[in-house]
Structure 1
């Protein structure tokens, strides 16, 4: 795909549904009793992989555009699939479904694409094994394909070494299958809390105390109505573009501003961006707001510590934005980037260097020196990573010459309408 260079962005965008919440709405609806109605569902490849997996286990799921209806019969209503569950490119599907499968009464095999086959699963399979799960696979259950033989689980008190919503969620979901025992997960920092919020909306009792979340086994989930807010991780690409591309002004409608996910808003404010947040009054379990951004005089900043879990998926686009800020931007404590769809530290640095960025990798992040003119006129690649692909597409708005993007189809994982939205607001 040839990406034209150097155009400002003006207009209004309705950001597609949050990927993390869309995944969970389908999963929880499938193990709840009764009907769950989901609006603004993200019809991206990852979330469709989740639907495919639960349909194979007997869940009745109907899709009508961005509306999804799930008829559940409780966790015991799931049945053994006749073939492998293919999670595609979705780490969320793979890791969370392991927690659900651990307490079932049947055997399942999980697989995914080439990227998933390289992503570590032991961070989830090890605590699940402590709960009594029978899981095996390559490298002792660290890589797909994985075999899960469901059975009786016991509650555990688990201290996670990483702040990971996927690890926390898998353990909590397995905890629902214990016989009335409590399962506790403690993290070093608070990771995104969509699972806790959504469990409550499905009627489950969840206790949150500081960095510890607990759930009691044997609870029955009840079908719910779920409005999926716009995905702030997708919005981040247009927020960064609006702040850094000359002659830009964008309004992003009904975006989720969950406090465990809004790190990009903190970064924009710290960098001096002109950002307006208008909150919506809603009955939703998730906060929602309109976000207005315009071209700003940006300054470098330091991004570290407790802020990192709130914006781990946004770091590629923040790195690009930092090339247009005055001074040095330092990103650290972001080792988690190494085990995403790609090693995002190396990939971001290498791709941005191609277009003239002054950027260097560190063991746990990167250092970006601005303000830099980006030249373009080269071939760049998403490396099969949707976040890298979107970052490079936005980069074309800042380059002096067009870019040729390889692997643009990877963006469909989280934002199928990305290029049409980008084209519509380009001047």
Structure 2
């Protein structure tokens, strides 16, 4: 471009070419930035879904929580955690733009206080999780959270003409306290709403851990009775849980949600073992569960566990006894999958003769018992091969085969592929 002999047309063409390249580069950079922001935004939203599960009772270790939060780029200090539940009245009257502005207010006010995550819960509740490091004194944390709550309540009224109640938890340490914080904050906001207070309340003296432990005890008892197929004890366990809940109606539904995951999983396994997945009663329960409306207050929870109990009672009372002999046999196989399971051992466990049990199993399932055991062992082996780095001789031992070569031969006879080829994905 600096050559003196360059003609004006050539110069203009060169400049236009450079301009075009610059514009394309800018457009590409802008698209890449937008894509990165979108990925980051989606990643954080997935992280919020994960945290919501934790608040509802899904169980993780401290290390798992820390790792998952780091993966989702959500930064929460374990030194001090506080949760605030903001309950909005009249949120449905806000326009889409007004709702976005309200959420922005929450985020802006929260940013000035601490590391935070804001999660929407239903149509009215917004859960704020705030964390503080060692540089914050107890007094400073209290001042900042109080000031933030008041600012949000006052601004919501002044700028959006909506009433907001706020429930503040106590201060806790460790990521495992997230659920406890949430239960306290939810109870606090319910109290604030009931008192029609424009302030916010911190719950003091409510030992939710005690109630959670008691509910978990009932659920564990039901699980054990389902495991041993004790129908009467299962019914008693469900009835005891229902009675306890009736006498403790102040329990927040969110506290019960953790137990509902465990109950649903246990009964789902029972239903699958019994072949009841296609019954209308179970479909109704599944529809409610998958629709996200499993629990609506303590009464709703009691109704739900009553339906679960009815499924089990109906299965025991209205199906032929032989079906439950098969169910008990299958459970025995599952619990002894790492052992050499013989027809005699299982028939002795059931109190039947081997010949009668063998004939009964074939009639009920259309499959001979020996084939069923081999199928379950190989399915378990496939899962271990896919999900672990264990050696083949270790996996063989875990599914009851002392000789790895024999295990490999049985595996190939069943799947038409060797265990090693299965692990490497060579399916031909």
On whether the aligned pair clears a TM of 0.5, the verdict is no
TM-score when scaled to structure 2? Answer: 0.28
Hey, which of these two has a bigger chunk of strand by percent? 1
Task: Give TM-score, length-normalised by structure 1.
Answer: 0.29
> Higher RCO, 1 or 2 (CA under 8 Å, sep at least 6)?
1
